[in-house]
Structure 1
Amino acid sequence: MGIPNAALELDAIDQRMLEALARNARSSLKELAEVAGLSSPSAAERLRRLEERGVIAAFTVDIALEAIGYPLQAIVRIRPLPGQLHVVERIIQETPEFIECDKVTGDDCFIGRLVVRSMGELDGILDKIAERAETNTSMVKATPVKRRLPPLSR
């Protein structure tokens, strides 16, 4: 993890570099240096410091799920039955179709995002959980806001 106040320490150069990387995590050092108004070695040093501080946790790829055969996504709220919390958590972790899951407060314990090839596949996955938890499923029609950076300046 990074320093809790790391966001407070982001200057305009750090912000420009992070925004450029959010648009394209494969940006070259030369491109980052141009965006930041720095030399390539200076941009490399800034990037290294952002990683060391935990501001940058990973460089990722955004995959078009439909292109690899997953046309359907579902958001599933999961409420484990008494005594089943850890078992349900393990089932979620071991089910690769869960591409994201948060443990939350409130009536539900987990909110997960699933990708599936068909409604039948979704039913099969939910059936594995149904013996140990109540679920409430919503199909994703569109994603008007994809994962993005939070505001970097105050």
Structure 2
Amino acid sequence: MPVNERFGLDDVDRAILEHLQRDGRTAVAELARQVNLSASATADRVRRLSDAGVITGYSVTVDPESVGYSVTAFVRLAYPSGNYKPFNDLVTATPEVIEAHHVTGADCFIIKVLARSMRDLERITGRLATLGGITTSVVYSSPVPSRHITPA
């Protein structure tokens, strides 16, 4: 199924997505109880949602500060070239870049960066600045750090 094609979700599918986004480690038997289906029917639904590309994976959320990253920043990059290979190569080689979005407007990319310190952020942004003009915004706090997706 093409990624952009809308997948028809019913109320049970929506409930499955809600529960799995809250806890992706929920066992099928427990998930089945929560959505009032048999375990086999629930497993089939989860498999169908995965096969259709609605569920794209499972992950663990890690607190950046607990693993040494005390600074979060967003870097806007005005990239002057249509050749994105140097950009892709640099962000691939920079593990502190945890998100990169190609956007409209004066800037071409918005990049989320984690750094160990302000000096470390300076090093990372210095590397990104070799590609074009940058503007950096340091995050004070994140009142909405992540939100579950509710199907439209």
TM-score, shorter chain, exceeding 0.5: yes
Identity of aligned residues (%): 35
Residues 10 and 119 from structure 1, CA distance in 2 versus in 1: closer, same or farther, beyond 3 angstroms?
same
Partner of 2:6: 5
How many Å separate the matches in 1 of 2:128 and 2:4? 37
1:3 shift after superposition: 6.0
Secondary structure of 1:61 counterpart: coil
| Count of residues in Structure 1 that have an aligned counterpart in Structure 2 | 151
How many Å separate the matches in 1 of 2:141 and 2:12? 34
1:94 shift after superposition: 1.6
Partner of 1:112: 111
User: For residue 119 of structure 1, what is the amino acid of its counterpart?
Assistant: M
Write out aligned runs for 1:3-42 (5 A). 4-6=5-7, 9-42=8-41
Residues 59 and 82 from structure 1, CA distance in 2 versus in 1: closer, same or farther, beyond 3 angstroms?
closer
Secondary structure of 1:152 counterpart: coil
Contact 1:84–1:133, Cα closer than 8 Å, also in 2 = no
Secondary structure of 1:136 counterpart: strand
Write out aligned runs for 1:40-119 (5 A). 40-82=39-81, 85-119=84-118
How many Å separate the matches in 1 of 2:67 and 2:148? 25
How many Å separate the matches in 1 of 2:115 and 2:146? 20
Secondary structure of 1:54 counterpart: coil
Return the TM-score normalized by structure 1. Answer: 0.90
| RMSD value, Cα | 1.7
User: For residue 4 of structure 1, what is the amino acid of its counterpart?
Assistant: E
How many Å separate the matches in 2 of 1:27 and 1:127? 42
How many Å separate the matches in 2 of 1:135 and 1:3? 31
1:80 shift after superposition: 1.8
1:83 shift after superposition: 6.3
Q: Which runs of 5+ in 1 are unaligned?
A: none
How many Å separate the matches in 2 of 1:103 and 1:40? 41
Write out aligned runs for 1:117-132 (5 A). 117-132=116-131
Partner of 2:136: 137
1:124 shift after superposition: 0.7
Q: Which runs of 5+ in 2 are unaligned?
A: none
How many Å separate the matches in 2 of 1:60 and 1:135? 31
Secondary structure of 1:50 counterpart: helix
